[in-house]
Amino acid sequence: MAGSSILTPERRIELNPFDIDAWNLILRESQARPIDQARNFYEKLVTQFPNAGRYWKAYIEHELRGKNFENVENLFNRCLVKVLNIDLWKCYVFYVRETKGHLSSFREKMAKAYDFALDKVGLDMNSYSIYADYISFLKTVPAVGQYAENQRISAVRKIYQRGISTPMVNIESLWSDYCSYEKNINPTLAEKLISERNKEYQVSKKIAKQLETVTRGVNRQAVSVPPRGTAPEMKQVEMWKKYIQWEKSNPMETEEYGQFAKRVVYAYEQSLLCLGYYPDMWYEAALFLQQAGKQLEEKGDVKLAQQMTAEAMQLFDRAISGLMKHSQLLYFAYADFEEERMKFDNVKKIYDNLLTIDHIDPTLTYIQLMKFTRRTEGVRAARAVFKRAREDSRCRHHVFIAAALMEFYCSKDKDVAMRVFDLGLKKYGDEPEYACAYVDFLTHLNEDNNTRVVFERILTSETLPAEKSSDIWDRYLEFESLVGDLASTLKVDERRKAAVTGGKDEGTTLMLIDRYRFLNLVPCTLDQLKLMGYNVSFNSLHDYCYYSCQSC
C-alpha cells in the first residue's frame, strides 16, 4: 500500500483496473473540470463499472450542470432501467421536474416519471422522498370542478396508501401526513379510512424496523469488482444473502404471491449492484424469477407470470452482455432456461455467442452444445457439432471423450465409440487424462485384449513424454492386477519401475504399495506411509488405513 501512494491514480488503474480509490481520486478532479474535458473519463468510468449507480449519477449531474440535456437523456436511456439505484432514480425525477416545466405536457410527463420511479424502486427502504414529492406534486395539480377535484383526491390517496403499505425509513411521517390529509378532506369519512389502513401501516412500520436491522452493515454504495475472497467481501456476501433469505421468508405475511415475489426480486437486484461479479447471485436471481413465473401461472396470474419469465430472460441477458460476459456457467444456465421454454433457436444463439469469445476455452461449450443438440435433434445432428469442435483449433481432448460416450450410451454402438477414441488418440496421445479415459472405457467393456493393445500403443508412443507416463503405468498395473495372472502383473510392474525410475532401485517399496493398493485401501498404516514418504492425501486414507491395516 505504501507504494501505491507514490503512483499516480492513472498508473494505479493501469496496474489494477478495479482500484476504486484511484478511480475516485480522478473522479473528484474531473468534477471540477468542464464537462467537455471530463466526458472521456466518465465514459471510461461507467464502462468499467456499468452497474455503479453513483458513477452514472455523477456523470449525469455533470452533464446537467452544463445544460447538455440531450446527453442527459441518452445517459438515462443507457442506465436507468438496468441500474435500480435509489439515488440515481431520485436524480431522474429531479431532472424531469427541473427541465420539463416549460412544456404544456409537463404534468403528464411528471406523473409518468413518478409512476415509473415507483414501479422500479418504490419498494426501496429509502424511497420515502419519492412518495412524498409525488404527493406534493399531485396536490398542486389544478382541479376545476368537483369531478376533477375527486380525481385529484383519489390520485393523492392512492399514492399515500401505496406508500404506507411499503416498509421504508420515515414511514411514520408519511402516515401522519396521510391522516392529516384525510381529516382535511372529509373529517367524517377520515376515521373510517384511517382505521381501514391502520393495520397495514402497523405491519409496514414493524417490518421497516426489521428491515433496518437486517440490512444494517450492508454497504449499498459498494461498487462491483471481481471477488478476491477477502474477509470483508465475504461478510458483505453473507449479509446480502441474509437479507434476501429474510425477504424470502415473507416477513410481511402477504397472501399475494406477486407482491411477495416483487420484494424478493428487488432484494436480488440491489445485491447485484454490489455483487455483480458473483455468478451464483445472478443465477439464484434468475432461478427465483423462473420459479415465481411458474407459481404465478399455477395461481392463474398469467400476465404477471409472463412478466417474471421475461424478467428472468432479461436478467440472463444483462449478465452475459455485461459483467458476466465470460461466465460459462451463466451461459449454460441461460441455455437450459431457454431450452425448457422450447426456444431452441435462442439456445443455439447463446452457445454461438459464447463460442465467438476467442480467449475462452470452447471445449466445455461444445460438449454442452453437443448434449443439447442430441436431446433436441438426435445423435446425427450432435455429430455435426462434434465435427465443428474438431475443426476448432482451441478445442481440447475432452470433446472426443464426450462424443465417444455419447455414441456408446445413446447410439448403443461401441464400435463407433471406439473409433472416436482411436481418432482422438492420434491427436491427444500425449494426454494421460485422455488415455486413462479410453482404457477405462475399454475396461468396463471387458475388452481385455483391446485394453492391453491401447496401453501398449500409448506407452510405446513417442508422443507421450516420460514424465507424463507415470499415471498410465499405474493404471496399467492396476488393470493387470485385476484381470491378469501374477506373471503378467509382475512383468508390467518391472516395466513400470524401469520407465518411472530409470532402472534405479529408488522407491521400489513405494511402487510395491501401488501394486497392492485398491481405491483408498493400502497395505500399511498411516504412520508407515508417512515414514516411507508415500505421496497421497493422508486425510482421505485415514479411515481406510485404520480398518484395513490393523495387522500390519
State the cell numbers at 88: 440515481
**What does the longest C-alpha to C-alpha distance in the chain come to?**
109
- The alpha carbon dihedral of 496, 497, 498, 502 has a sign of positive
pLDDT tens string 104-123:
999 999 999 999 999 999 99
Lowest mean pLDDT of 145-149, 191-195, 509-513, name the range: 509-513
Contact partners, residue 5, CB within 8 Å, separation at least 6: none
Over 50: is that where the pLDDT of 540 sits?
no
Among residues 51, 49, 4, the alpha carbon closest in space to that of 27 is found at: 49
Instruction: Encode pLDDT of 71-87 as tens digits.
Output: 999 999 999 999 999 99
Q: Is the predicted pLDDT of residue 144 greater than 90, yes or no?
A: no
Q: Please write the tens of the pLDDT for every residue from 41-77.
A: 999 999 999 999 999 999 999 999 999 999 999 999 9
Per the DSSP assignment, residues forming a β-bridge with 521 are: 518
Q: Report pLDDT for 529.
A: 82
Provide the 10 A C-beta neighbour count for residue 489.
Answer: 18
Q: Report domain 3-207's class.
A: mainly alpha
Q: Provide φ and ψ at 529, rounded to 5°.
A: -60, -45
C-alpha–C-alpha distance, residues 292 and 304, integer Å: 9
pTM of this structure: 0.87
* Burial (0-12, 13-18, 19+ Cβ within 10 Å), 226: exposed
Cα dihedral 456, 461, 464, 466 sign: positive
Would you say residue 206 has pLDDT above 50? yes
**Residue 62: partners with Cβ closer than 8 Å, 6 or more residues away:** 30, 31, 35, 38, 42
Contacts of 551 (CB under 8 A, 6+ apart): none
Q: Are 150 and 189 in contact (CB under 8 A)?
A: no
The residue type found at 539 is N
Residue 550: what pLDDT?
Answer: 40
Confidence of residue 536 (pLDDT cuts 50, 70, 90): low
Query: Does residue 209 have a pLDDT over 80?
Result: yes
> What's the confidence (pLDDT) of residue 549?
40
Per-chain mean pLDDT for the chain: 91
> CA gyration radius for the chain?
33
Give helix 187-214 / helix 231-248 axis angle, nearest 10°.
Answer: 140
If you count DSSP H runs as helices and E runs as strands, how many of each does the chain have, helices first? 28, 0
User: CA-CA distance, 422 to 462, in Å (whole number)?
Assistant: 16
Between CA 10 and CA 7 the distance in angstroms is: 8
Which of 392, 464, 395, 477 is CA-nearest to residue 426? 464
pLDDT digit string, tens, across residues 296-351: 999 999 999 999 999 999 999 999 999 999 999 999 999 999 999 999 999 999 99
Tell me, rounded to whole angstroms, the distance of Cα 225 from its chain centroid.
Answer: 13
